[in-house]
């Protein structure tokens, strides 16, 4: 059994327990540390400062650090393994949340705000200094509604079964608790709170009926911005705090995607961009400053592990990447642990390898006729998993194609393809392209992380005109309503 050790992260004030020998790369991505050069030691973006404890430094890393002019206890997280208790300063945490400083214009305001990403699975709350846009603290927690089911359909069903109030209270009190946790550390005056989330989260949180979201045409008359008072939420804040849940774009495209559009600046650029959220629902947005179209796909949470026999989210024990070296499969398991399953990025890798090695055919069939292919330990990939991957991949690829057709543009006219979603840091872009999930050049693809959270922070600085500007040019498109949907979907199932 491996020894457990502690890594404390400053200025976050967070402490995580991991197995001794865990690569920092596995655990720090969640806290905003990015690995743009993939660990080659050339970018320096993964630098962390060792405040306490030991992180062994070898000659290669020392040379890289010298070249990057990093002295004074700096380490490159991509090179290091945590062997004993350590304290690290990670300044990237602010950078990623701040989005792109050079292009994110905001009017400085006085006071502080909170940005809230209310996800189906996870909730994140951040404290933001409205004078300079800096994130002072952040907490994340599991959405307590999870006990009523992992996806929005089961949450709607639970509401219909009479649990609406319980689901509402659970999420309201969880956010209150998270806000108070931050305020205990930073006793400041909050003037506003910006909440984003999908339409079902928006409705349950705001106390709006979800019934009409349960049947065709999945319509709701209540998609607009909801302003709630501190009193009705029963939150422990002064009454003057403005609490806004931002508007949804469509019945199944919520303000998390609105925030994503804000984070990509798609609505301001003449050039076209595509935003793909590979999270629980698989949403796609295509557009520019003139017109934006968005859609939700039927991909389901396959990239988060659902429906894959040994699928799991990108947490400890998940195979996050797979490569083929010296005639054998090499897997990387998050947290230096025994492989328990495979997450979305690992699944994409293994599919690309099987294609390259011609172990599977164009219809996804395992050429050897076997029912599964072993990966690591007890984890293997089955014929059914490959089918599920094909379905999810086809749903995303067809969705993009249909939206591009609707915009009357081709992939070659797209300037950037942004990928949002939890496992983004582990994604191998070449493999994403190899499997046909995204069909453009690698240099156009940008892994943007949690775009809902970046956008929510930006929305703290915006007034309603900004929101209306985005909403005014954004339409929701029902993919299944396209007469070519079936043909395109089947075409995208094929693995070439």
Residues that bind ligand FES (CB under 6 A): 35-37, 39, 41-46, 76, 78
Residue 273 C-beta: closest distance to ligand FES, Å: 25
Closer to ligand FES at the Cβ: 37 or 136?
A: 37
Residue at token pair 């094909």: 390
Nearer to ligand FES, 34 or 117 (CB): 34
User: Minimal distance in Å, beta carbon 98 to ligand FES?
Assistant: 19
The string of DSSP codes covering 360-402 is B-TTS-BTT--SEEEEETTEEEEHHHHHHHHHHHHHHHHHHHH
> Does an H or E element contain 231, and which?
helix 230-233
- In the complex, least distance from residue 420 CB atom to ligand FES, rounded to whole angstroms: 20
Q: Which is nearer to ligand FES, 70 or 306 (CB)?
A: 70
Query: Could you tell me the smallest distance in angstroms from the CB atom of residue 434 to ligand FES?
Result: 22
- What lies within 8 Å, CB to CB, of 283 at 6+ separation is 253, 257, 260, 275, 276, 277, 294, 295, 296, 297
Report in angstroms how near the CB of residue 7 gets to ligand FES at its nearest.
17
Of 82 and 274, CB closest to ligand FES:
82
* Closest distance of CB 447 from ligand FES, Å: 13
Closest CA to 26 of 7, 50, 41: 7
Long-range contacts of 435-439 (CB under 8 A, 24+ apart): 435/348, 435/351, 435/352, 435/355, 435/389, 435/393, 435/495, 436/393, 436/397, 436/492, 436/495, 436/496, 437/348, 437/393, 437/396, 437/397, 438/276, 438/397, 438/400, 439/397, 439/400, 439/411
Which residue, 39 or 53, has its beta carbon nearer to ligand FES? 39
Phi (first) and psi of residue 41, to 5 degrees: 80, 20
> How near is the Cβ of 80 to ligand FES at its closest, in Å?
10
Please give the backbone phi and psi of residue 26, each rounded to the nearest 5 degrees, phi first. Answer: -70, -30
Q: Which of residues 37 and 225 has its CB atom nearest to ligand FES in the complex? A: 37
Kind of pairing between the strands at 242-245 and 272-277: unpaired
Tell me whether residue 30 or residue 439 sits nearer to ligand FES (CB atom): 30
Which residue number places its CB atom closest to ligand FES? 78
Residues 415/271, Cβ–Cβ less than 8 Å: yes
């Amino acid at each position: 059994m491996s020894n457990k050790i502690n890594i404390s992260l400053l200025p976050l004030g967070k402490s995580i327990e991991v197995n001794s020998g865990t690569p920092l790369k596995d655990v720090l991505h969640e806290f905003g540390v990015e690995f743009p050069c993939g660990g080659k030691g050339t970018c320096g973006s993964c630098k962390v400062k060792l405040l306490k404890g030991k992180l062994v430094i070898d000659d290669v890393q020392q040379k890289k650090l010298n070249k990057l002019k990093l002295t004074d206890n700096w380490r490159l997280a991509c090179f290091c393994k945590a062997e004993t208790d350590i304290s690290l300063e990670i300044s990237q945490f602010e950078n990623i949340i701040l989005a792109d400083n050079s292009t994110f214009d905001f009017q400085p305001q006085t006071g502080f705000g909170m940005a809230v990403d209310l996800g189906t699975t996870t909730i994140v709350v951040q404290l933001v200094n409205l004078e300079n846009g800096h994130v002072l603290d952040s907490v994340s927690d599991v959405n307590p509604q999870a006990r009523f089911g992992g996806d929005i359909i089961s949450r709607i069903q639970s509401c219909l079964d009479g649990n609406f109030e319980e689901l509402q209270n659970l999420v309201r009190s969880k956010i209150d608790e998270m806000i108070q946790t931050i305020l205990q550390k930073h006793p400041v005056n909050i003037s506003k709170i910006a909440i984003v989330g999908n339409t079902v989260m928006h409705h349950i949180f705001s106390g709006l009926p979800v019934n009409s979201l349960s049947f065709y045409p999945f319509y709701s008359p209540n998609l607009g911005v909801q302003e709630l008072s501190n009193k009705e939420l029963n939150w422990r804040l002064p009454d003057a705090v403005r609490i806004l849940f931002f508007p949804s774009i469509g019945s199944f495209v919520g303000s998390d995607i609105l925030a994503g559009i804000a984070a990509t600046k798609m609505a301001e650029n003449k050039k076209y961009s595509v935003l793909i959220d590979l999270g629980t629902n698989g949403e796609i947005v295509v557009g520019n400053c003139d017109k934006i179209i968005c859609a939700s796909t039927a991909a389901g949470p396959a990239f988060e592990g659902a429906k894959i026999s040994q699928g799991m989210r990108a947490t400890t024990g998940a195979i996050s990447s797979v490569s083929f070296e010296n005639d054998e499969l090499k897997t990387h398991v998050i947290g230096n642990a025994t492989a328990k399953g495979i997450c979305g990025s690992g699944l994409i890798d293994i599919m690309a390898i099987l294609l390259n090695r011609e172990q599977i055919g164009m219809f996804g069939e395992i050429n050897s006729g076997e029912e599964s292919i072993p990966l690591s330990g007890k984890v293997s990939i089955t014929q059914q998993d490959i089918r599920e991957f094909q379905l999810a991949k086809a749903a995303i690829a067809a969705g993009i194609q249909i939206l591009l057709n609707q915009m009357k543009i081709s992939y070659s006219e797209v300037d950037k393809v942004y990928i949002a979603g939890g496992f983004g840091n582990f994604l191998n872009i070449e493999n994403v392209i190899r499997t046909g999930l995204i069909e453009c050049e690698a240099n156009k693809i940008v892994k943007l992380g949690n775009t809902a959270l970046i956008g929510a922070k930006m929305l703290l600085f915006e007034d309603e005109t900004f929101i209306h500007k985005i909403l005014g040019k954004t339409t929701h498109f029902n993919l299944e309503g396209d007469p070519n949907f079936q043909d395109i979907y089947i075409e995208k199932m094929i693995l070439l």
